[in-house]
């Protein structure tokens, strides 16, 4: 006997798009028609999204809630409500973040003032500041039930302190050796030539004075290969084992990662995305690029002032980025995919895909365009480009719902991406786009548009809705 459907007409649900994993996004919706099985033995559901819009059917410039027929496998019930307004989150919590009209997965990295949190957004591996009301504990809908059940009735830190207040007297700083107890699993680095930015898993055997420890490596053997290697390690070269983050479906271009290489974790940057879940990783310490499988990489975390952070605040990526874009200095490694803008008359506001050939010094690079060819059309065009006119390739955003009137977009035109704005919504997923840099208005299909993003302070910011 077939299992009955878990939703019916009128239920509140959440819908994800095909191809997305547990990171989301999940869009809130209402079921308009109960599931119906098709001749292909799959069930379809008619839903109305509560946060996604579509052009109005009456031909006006307005828009209404998007209605869509979706596969039941991409639908789940709306999660149970949070256990009261006093629920708070702690560092390391697996959460959902309400961002860009849907719920996406993240991890709480830091507790801020005014009921705000610093959250690692897993889909782009970026840190964002979120108010408490835009967060909820992450749960998975598994075989008809929520995992884990929402039973954690945590109260606010203030209420907890009032109930369990104790007098605590501190006579002095704790000795350093108490930081790592015997048997603790840690990671140890080295200052030896050629091993900078590498970390090796070890176990604390014992303390040697106030700033040294005897450690036993878990993956390094003695020269004869008979037993695990033991050695003294300075306290400044030891850090706790990083927390286990939720699985990442895929890594992004220029994301900082740790790569498992030569029995240790090496700090690097994704410099190229390959097929088959493989990546090219650039290592600044050795100036090398190597290919790694997805399973041999992990998101990079920094141990700073006694807590874990997704990246150094001074050097979030391989380059240093000032707060003003016009003063930015971007150092890109060889073969890195980028976009280059043109300041030529009539080309303002356009970006062209390219690869870095090599650095020319003085903030200049030789780049090879991926869509522009030489005058004879025989090979890809190369030219010198200033760092001020170079940016990383923006992350892909699956814009599955229609664009709205006045939404900022990038349009694929004349072999490049041109910044414009939706000036009119046409039929058959076509749009008129106005380009203020050239004072032109042209027609485009949905597939030749992407949401407009700006590269600022080392992060991509969604500017599609800004006016």
**What is d(CA 462, CA 446) in angstroms, rounded to the nearest whole number?**
18
Tens of pLDDT, residue by residue over 335-359, are: 788 999 987 777 888 999 999 998 8
Tens of pLDDT, residue by residue over 29-50, are: 999 988 876 555 568 889 999 8
User: pLDDT band at residue 171, thresholds of 50, 70 and 90?
Assistant: very low
Tens of pLDDT, residue by residue over 213-227, are: 999 999 999 888 889
Tens of pLDDT, residue by residue over 430-467, are: 999 998 888 889 999 998 999 888 876 666 776 666 43
pLDDT confidence of residue 369: 94
pLDDT confidence of residue 59: 53
Question: What does the pLDDT average to over 289-296?
Answer: 90
What average pLDDT is seen over the chain?
A: 78
pLDDT reading at 320 higher than 70? no
pLDDT confidence of residue 178: 44
Q: Does domain 407-462 have CATH number 2.30.30?
A: yes
Beta strand 198-208 with 337-341: parallel, antiparallel or unpaired? Answer: unpaired
Q: Compute, in degrees rounded to 10, the torsion defined by CA atoms 29, 31, 32, 34.
A: 160
Nearest Cα neighbor of 87 from 169, 34, 154 is 154
pLDDT confidence of residue 169: 40
The better pLDDT of the pair 143, 179 is held by: 143
Tens of pLDDT, residue by residue over 384-419, are: 998 888 988 887 766 667 888 888 899 999 999 999
Q: What is the CATH number of domain 1-78?
A: 2.30.30
What is the C-alpha radius of gyration for the chain, rounded to an integer number of angstroms? 26
CATH fold for the domain made of 83-151: SH3 type barrels. (2.30.30)
The better pLDDT of the pair 265, 87 is held by: 265
Listed in order, strand segments (DSSP E) in 274-406 are: 278-283, 288-293, 297-299, 302-304, 307-309, 337-341, 350-361, 364-373, 380-386, 390-392
Q: What is the CATH number of domain 255-308?
A: 2.30.30
Nearest Cα neighbor of 362 from 385, 396, 340 is 385
Q: Give me the helices (H) in 184-255, please.
A: none
Spatial contact of 399 and 408, defined as CB atoms under 8 Å apart: no
pLDDT confidence of residue 20: 61
- Architecture of the domain delimited by 336-392: Roll (2.30)
Tens of pLDDT, residue by residue over 188-199, are: 998 777 788 899
pLDDT confidence of residue 106: 87
pLDDT reading at 318 higher than 80? no
User: Does residue 263 have a cis bond before it (omega within 30 degrees)?
Assistant: no
Nearest Cα neighbor of 9 from 30, 29, 26, 27 is 30
């Amino acid at each position: 006997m077939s299992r009955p459907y878990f939703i019916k007409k009128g239920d509140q649900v959440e819908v994800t798009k095909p191809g997305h994993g547990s990171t989301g996004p999940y869009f809130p919706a209402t079921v308009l028609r109960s599931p119906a099985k098709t001749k292909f033995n799959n069930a379809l559901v008619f839903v109305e999204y509560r946060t996604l819009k579509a052009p109005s059917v009456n031909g006006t410039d307005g828009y209404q809630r998007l209605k869509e027929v979706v596969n039941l496998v991409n639908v789940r019930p709306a999660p149970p409500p949070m256990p009261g307004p006093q629920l708070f989150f702690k560092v390391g919590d697996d959460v959902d973040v309400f961002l860009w009209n849907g719920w996406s997965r993240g991890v709480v990295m830091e507790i801020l003032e005014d009921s705000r949190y610093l959250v690692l957004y897993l889909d782009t591996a970026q840190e964002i500041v979120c108010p408490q009301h835009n967060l909820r504990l992450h749960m998975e809908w598994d075989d008809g039930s929520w995992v884990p059940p929402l039973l954690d009735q945590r109260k606010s830190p203030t209420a907890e302190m009032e109930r369990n207040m104790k007098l605590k007297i501190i006579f002095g700083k704790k000795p350093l050796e108490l930081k790592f107890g015997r048997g603790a699993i840690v990671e140890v680095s080295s200052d030896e030539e050629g091993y900078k930015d590498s970390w090796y898993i070890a176990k604390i055997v014992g303390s040697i004075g106030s700033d040294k420890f005897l450690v036993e490596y878990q993956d390094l053997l003695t020269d004869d290969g008979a037993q695990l290697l033991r050695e003294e390690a300075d306290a400044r070269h030891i850090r706790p084992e990083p927390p286990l983050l939720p699985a990442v479906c895929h890594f992004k271009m220029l994301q900082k990662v740790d790569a498992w290489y030569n029995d240790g974790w090496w700090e690097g940057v994704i410099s190229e995305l390959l097929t088959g879940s493989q990546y090219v990783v650039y290592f600044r310490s050795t100036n090398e690029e190597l290919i790694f499988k997805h399973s041999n990489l992990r998101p990079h975390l920094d141990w700073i002032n006694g807590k874990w952070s997704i990246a150094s605040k001074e050097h979030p990526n391989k380059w240093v980025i000032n707060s003003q874009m016009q003063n930015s200095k971007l150092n890109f490694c060889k073969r890195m995919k980028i976009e280059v803008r043109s300041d030529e008359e009539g080309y303002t506001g356009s970006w062209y895909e390219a690869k870095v050939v090599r650095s020319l010094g003085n903030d200049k690079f030789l780049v090879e365009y991926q869509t522009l060819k030489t005058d004879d059309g025989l090979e890809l065009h190369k030219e010198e480009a200033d760092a001020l006119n170079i940016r990383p390739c923006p992350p892909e955003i699956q814009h599955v719902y229609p664009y709205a009137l006045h939404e900022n977009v990038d349009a694929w035109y004349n072999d490049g991406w041109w910044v414009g704005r939706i000036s009119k919504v046409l039929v058959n997923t076509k749009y008129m786009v106005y380009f203020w840099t050239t004072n032109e208005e042209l027609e485009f299909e949905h597939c030749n548009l992407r949401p407009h993003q700006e590269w600022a302070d080392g992060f991509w910011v969604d500017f599609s809705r800004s006016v």
